[in-house]
Chain A
């Protein structure tokens, strides 16, 4: 199925009754060249890049529920590449560039909207830190602009600029950042990967690894039977430790719950993605009009996919500090997702000590924006057995080597990243 203005017109004239399924719901074969565990954005993107960039089409994506039912469907849909440390800057910009061509690559409307991401600053010290980060971005060929108070006032006149404790002084703006439609990203990758022959297998939970005499992984045991594989890739952020435990591995990861929130729909208010610099609060407005926002993780280990009230209160206080007028908007929905919180706040994309098993994990709460980049570099690793140059620092052994990528400088305390 190829989507175009003509396919839309044809479907419209037949009352939208003849749309075909956009991807094939496959049953497992006995053997694949590559099996990806996890049918979220990262797993499906990996499968698509394997098929389209690296010519490996005998690929299966195994999903224990339905595709996009984990964190791919639970995020706040923000895309950006405003990172400051070597390793992160290049990787997230690679991902940003892939967002910019995703809809053409996949022939699917993923509603990529480059409405800009602005991080507000509230003190001289924070301005200096943002200037430094902006300069780092620009040196690396990434767009960044430091806005003063007048420019922010013009862009967002509705903010509470004169907050006694945290007055808004300006912001660091990345105009190419923005949002994308998270479910459409999942469906788009499924659509394009399926068309190239990738088997997407739902309701197929991996229950163990098949190992040969040398310990090499040669397949997986699943709720739908044994599936052989020359290589197995894990893209199960949130549950990485549980899956790795099936191969007797312990990871530098804790699972934590992160909540997100949507308000009732209001008229267009917020023109971009905006973050509060004096607390943890980020917000954008969906096309339907709801404010989509979030903040910190709850801070305790959890696999429960639901959080608690103290963080909800903290997040809403951040919103109120910036925009007191949203205090009377009602919250429509709230949910939680399980984050792989790594020990330095950065991801892990690497081979594992187990031959034949590859790891894509530790996305903390920044996995969505990385979706296309993660897919490309993980596919590269699976196909070539060596890291992509933009992901070479996301090593599993960096903790042992002391080569941490700690944007926040918090150390090995995952609930603080």
Chain B
């Protein structure tokens, strides 16, 4: 797998770190226990095209939102995830 970073161009996989599925959204402060449990522990574990967050730690250090097929590793789009990725990790 090689990822075409929108800032750095095509780079090898070792420069990137994986966060995971981009779909789950952190529940609001007043969310129910069920919603928090669902967010922390349950996964769709998609078999097929999936939107996910990656971090380009070995390059521009930007968070990226990547559409990748988990059955084939084929990457169909890479775009900056300014703000979104950072929020995911609570930064």
Contacts and interface: CB of A to CB of B under 8 A. Distances in A.
A250 B45 CA distance: 8
Contacts, number: 68
A304 B71 contact: yes
Nearest to A415: B18
A415 B52 CA distance: 14
Nearest to B40: A412
A233 B12 CA distance: 41
B73 A241 contact: no
Given A254-B20, A255-B70, A415-B20, A310 B45 contact: no
Given A241-B45, A253-B43, A254-B20, A302 B13 contact: no
A208 to B, nearest CB: 16
Interface residues of B, number: 25
B18 A300 contact: yes
The majority secondary structure among interface residues of chain A is mixed
B70 A302 contact: yes
Interface in B48-91: 50, 52, 68, 70-73
B72 A304 contact: yes
Contacts of A399: 37, 40-41
A310 B41 contact: no
- Chain B interface, >50% SS class: mixed
A301 B38 CA distance: 18
B45 A301 contact: yes
Interface in B1-47: 1, 12-14, 17-18, 20-21, 37-38, 40-47
B43 A309 contact: no
A242 interface: yes
A261 to B, nearest CB: 17
Contacts of A302: 70, 73
Interface in A354-408: 399-400
A331 interface: no
Task: Enumerate the 9 nearest inter-chain pairs by beta-carbon distance, A residue then B residue, closest first.
Answer: A241-B45, A310-B14, A252-B41, A399-B41, A300-B18, A250-B42, A301-B70, A303-B47, A343-B41
Given A242-B47, A250-B42, A251-B42, 5 more contacts: A250-B43, A254-B43, A300-B68, A301-B21, A308-B73
Interface of A: 241-242, 250-255, 299-304, 306, 308-310, 313, 343, 399-400, 412, 415
11 contacts: A250-B42, A252-B42, A254-B20, A254-B45, A255-B45, A299-B18, A301-B21, A302-B70, A302-B73, A399-B41, A412-B41
